[in-house]
Structure 1
Amino acid sequence: MTSRHYLPQHDRSVALWLIACAVVIFGMILLGGVTRLTGSGLSMVEWRPLMGIIPPLSEAEWQAVFDKYRQFPEYQQINRGMSLDGFKVIFMYEYLHRVLGRLIGVLFFVPLLVFALRGMIRPGMLPRLLLLFVLGGCQGLLGWYMVQSGLVDRPSVSQYRLAAHLGLAVAIYGFMLWVILDLWRHPQRPAPSNDYRSGLGVGAVALVALVYLMILSGALVAGTDAGFAYSTWPKMGPTFVPEGLYAMEPAWLAAFEDVTTIQFNHRLFAYLLAALLVGFAVVVLQRETQPRIRWAALGVVAALTLQLVLGISTLLLHVPVPLAAAHQGGAVLLLSSTIFLAHTLLRRASAHA
C-alpha cells in the first residue's frame, strides 16, 4: 500500500509533518518541566483519557475538583489552606500538559493515516512511524503511572518514574528527529564504510547515548530536588567534593536517592561530557572538510556552551523556574545537535562513498 503511489518528493511532505510533531513534543518537554518546577503535577488526581480534555467549566465543578485534590497528600502536607484561586493556577499547568499530550496523539495519528492511505510513505518507513505512535501511547500510560506515585504517601512523584517518563519523551523526540533527517536528505545510497569516517560516525552515536544518559541524570536531580542542595559553583559549599558522598547503605543507592551524591554526580558527568564533546568536535574539524559536517560540529559546541551557562546559572540563582525550564530545553537542544552530527557523519553524500 505504501509503495503504490510513492514518489521521492513525498519524503519532504512527510518530513514537514514530523517536524511539526517534533516541535510540539519539544514544547511538551518544556511544559512538563514547568509543571514539575511549579509543583503542579499532582493537581489532577484522576486520569480521564477521554473526558479529561474538558476542564471544569463552572464554579461548582471547580470546587468539586478542588475537594478531590484536598483528599491527597500534597494538599494535606504542603498546600493546606490553599485557596480555590491558587488551585486553579497549578491545575491549569497540569491540565495543559495533559491536553497537549492528547493533541500530539491526534497530530501524529491523523496525518499518518492519510499519508499511509495515499501511499506517500517511503517503503520500509511505515513500521518506524507505527513504532513512534505506540511509544507515544506508552508515554501517556507512563505519565499517569508517575503521577500515581505522588498520590499515595508522600506528596512527590518517584524520581525513578520521573526519569522514565522524561527519558521516554526524549527518546521519542530523538528517534523522530533521526527519521526526519533520513527523509529530508533522501539517503537512498549506502554510507561509506572505509577509513576513519566510519569510526567518527560510531563515536558520534556513542556521544548521543551519553547526552541521553546526562538527561536522565538531570531527571534524578529534578525528581529529588537535588538542585536546591548546593547553590554554589564550582565548589559544592566550601569544597569541591562535599562531605557525605555515598553515605547511604548500600552505598550505590546514594547515586539515586541522596541529594548530595546526585548533584555531585550530575556535575561530574557534565564535566566529562563537555570534555568529550569538545574533543570530538576538534577531531571532526581537523579531519573533515565538508562544510555541513564542520557546521554540525560547531553546532554541538555552541549548544554545549549554552547548556553549561544555563546549568551553572540555574544553580547559582537557586533554581528559578524560567532558567531551570530553559536548562531542560537546552539539554534537548544539545541532544538534537549531537544527533544531527551523528546523522551527518553516517549519511554522507555519494561523493564520499
Structure 2
Amino acid sequence: MDVNKSLVRRSITIWLILGIVLIYFQVIIGGITRLTGSGLSITKWEIVIGTLPPLSNDAWNEVFDLYKETPQYQKINEGMTMSSFKFIYFWEYLHRLWARSMGFVFIVPFLVFWKKGWLSKVMMRKLLVVFFMAGLVGLFGWIMVASGLIERPWVNAYKLAIHLSLALVVLGYLLWVFLQYRYPREDIEARLPGLKYFLVAMGIQIFLGGIMSGAKASLVYPEWPDYGGSWLPAVLLERGVWNVDNFVNYDSSPFLAGLIQICHRSLAYILIISGIYILIKHKRLITSDRLWFIPGMLVTMLITQAVLGILVLYGSKSTVPVFLGIAHQVVAIAILLCTIIIYYFSDRSGRKVTASI
C-alpha cells in the first residue's frame, strides 16, 4: 500500500471511530439528562441561536420564565431556585451542544473526503444513510421533548424509547460501516445466523428499557425477584385492565409498569441464558486471534447488566438512582456493540477471517 492510500485509510478509519465514540457519549449524556429530569428545561428548538447559552441575568430569567410555563415546573418543580434550574439546563444544553458538535465533526470531514475523491460510491451511500438517520434522531428528539410541554410533566415513554432506539440504530450501523471498511469480508453466509436473532432480542430489550425508564416503572415495583410480594404483577390479573387507555394514559395505572417490568426482566433472563449457550456451543465463535475474549466478555457484561438492573430496582424508592441508571445504560450499549462485533467476525466453520485485528 503506497503512502497516499495509507493516509486515506487511516484518516477515514480515525474519523469513523471518532464518530462512534461521540455517539456513544451522546447517548450517555442523554441518559444523564433524562435521569436528572433535565430534558424539559429548554423549551425551544433553536438550531443556530441555541448554540450559545444564556449570557446575562436577563437572559437566564427569560429562559427560566419559559420553563415556569411547563407542566413539569407547575406540577413538580414549583419554587425551584435559579441555581437548581441552571443545573438541569446544563445537561439539556450539553446534550444539544454535543449533537451540534457531532454534526460538525461528521459533515466537515465528509465534505473534505468527498472533495478529494477518497470516498467510494458505496461508502457515500452508507454515510448518507447515517446522516439521514442522525437527522431523524434529532427531529424525534424534539418531538419527544414537545410531548412533555403540554399536559404530562415528563416526556412520553414511547417517544423516549423510539428516540433512544433510533440513536442506537445509528450507532450500531456506523460501527457496521466501520467494520466493513476496515475489515472487509465477502463470506457473509459463513456468519452464525443465531447471533442475528440475539441482536434483534437485544434491540427489543433496549426498547423495553426505554419505555420502562420513561414510564418510571422501577418506582412502581422497586423489588426483585417478586413484584410487590407476588411472582407476577397483580394488576395484570385484574379484570378490565387490558385496554388501550392503560397503554396510552399509563400514569394513571400501574398496569404498564407491571407489564413492561415482567417483559424486561424475562427477556434479560433469556439473553443471559442465550449468551452462555452461545459461549459454550461456539468456543471459537470469533475467528480473529486478538478478539478471542469478546464472547466471554459478552456473557460477563450480560450478568453485570442484570445485577445493575436489580440494584436500580432496589434503589428506586422515590427516584431512580442516577449513577446506577447510567451504569445500566452504559453496559447496555456496550453489550449491543459487542454483539455486533461478534456477529461480524463470527464464522460457523471456524475458519480464519480475512482480516485479523
TM above 0.5, yes or no, is yes
Q: Deviations over 1:160-180 (max 9, x none)?
A: 111110010000000011111
Evaluate the alpha carbon distance shift between residue 59 and residue 237 of structure 1 in structure 2; reply closer, same or farther with a 3 A threshold.
same
Name the residue aligned to 1:178: 176
Aligned counterparts of 2:132 and 2:292: Cα–Cα separation in 1: 36
| Alpha-carbon offset, residue 286 of structure 1 | 6.3
Name the residue aligned to 1:137: 135
Q: Deviations over 1:98-143 (max 9, x none)?
A: 1111111111111111111112224411100111011111111111
1:213 aligns with 2:214: no
2:147/2:156 contact within 8 Å kept: yes
Name the residue aligned to 2:63: 65
| Alpha-carbon offset, residue 261 of structure 1 | 1.5
Matches within 5 A, 1:296-307: 296-307=294-305
Matches within 5 A, 1:1-353: 7=5, 10-185=8-183, 187=184, 190-191=186-187, 193=189, 197-198=190-191, 200=192, 202-245=193-236, 247=238, 249-251=241-243, 257=250, 258-285=256-283, 291-292=289-290, 294-318=292-316, 319-345=320-346, 349-350=353-354
Aligned counterparts of 1:337 and 1:287: Cα–Cα separation in 2: 13
Cα RMSD (Å) of the superposition?
A: 2.4
Evaluate the alpha carbon distance shift between residue 348 and residue 174 of structure 1 in structure 2; reply closer, same or farther with a 3 A threshold.
farther
Aligned counterparts of 2:287 and 2:111: Cα–Cα separation in 1: 42
Q: Deviations over 1:54-106 (max 9, x none)?
A: 11000111001111111121111111111112111111111111111111111
Q: Structure 2: which amino acid aligns with 1:250? A: W
1:255/1:262 contact within 8 Å kept: no
Aligned counterparts of 2:246 and 2:265: Cα–Cα separation in 1: 15
Q: Deviations over 1:301-347 (max 9, x none)?
A: 12212212221221122231011011011110000110000000169
Aligned counterparts of 2:178 and 2:80: Cα–Cα separation in 1: 46
Partner SS for 2:236: coil
Q: Which runs of 5+ in 2 are unaligned?
A: 251-255
Q: Structure 1: which amino acid aligns with 2:213? A: A
Partner SS for 1:233: coil
| Alpha-carbon offset, residue 289 of structure 1 | 6.6
Q: TM-score, normalised by structure 1?
A: 0.90
How many pairs were matched up? 341
Aligned counterparts of 1:302 and 1:291: Cα–Cα separation in 2: 20
Q: Deviations over 1:270-307 (max 9, x none)?
A: 11111112211221116777645642321211221221
2:156/2:214 contact within 8 Å kept: yes
Aligned counterparts of 1:20 and 1:350: Cα–Cα separation in 2: 25
- Percentage identity across aligned positions? 37
Q: Structure 1: which amino acid aligns with 2:242? A: P
2:212/2:260 contact within 8 Å kept: yes
2:196/2:343 contact within 8 Å kept: yes
Q: Which runs of 5+ in 1 are unaligned?
A: none
Evaluate the alpha carbon distance shift between residue 285 and residue 293 of structure 1 in structure 2; reply closer, same or farther with a 3 A threshold.
farther
